[in-house]
Amino acid sequence: MQTTAARSARTDEHRAEGRRTVVITGQPVPPRRRPPRAQAQIQARPDRVAMWAFALGIFLVLMAIATASA
């Protein structure tokens, strides 16, 4: 068991160091980044839009050839 003198000595040391405090900033975690909107994603990759337009054109040509009754 600790003696009263040891307890008071330890308490005096804590008082001499000052009181430890915690600063609350109001933000517990950094805010999450919002996912980009679809419009921003399309504008960022015009080559991908062109690729899909080209692929659709090829598909339509193939379908026209396949269904032609000549």
pLDDT tens-place string over residues 18-43: 778 887 777 677 778 888 887 777 67
Pairwise CA distance, residues 15 & 20, whole Å: 10
pLDDT tens-place string over residues 60-70: 999 999 999 76
Question: pTM for the whole thing?
Answer: 0.42
Triad 51, 54, 57: Cα angle to 5°: 150
Q: Where are the domains of the chain?
A: 38-70
Pairwise CA distance, residues 5 & 22, whole Å: 30
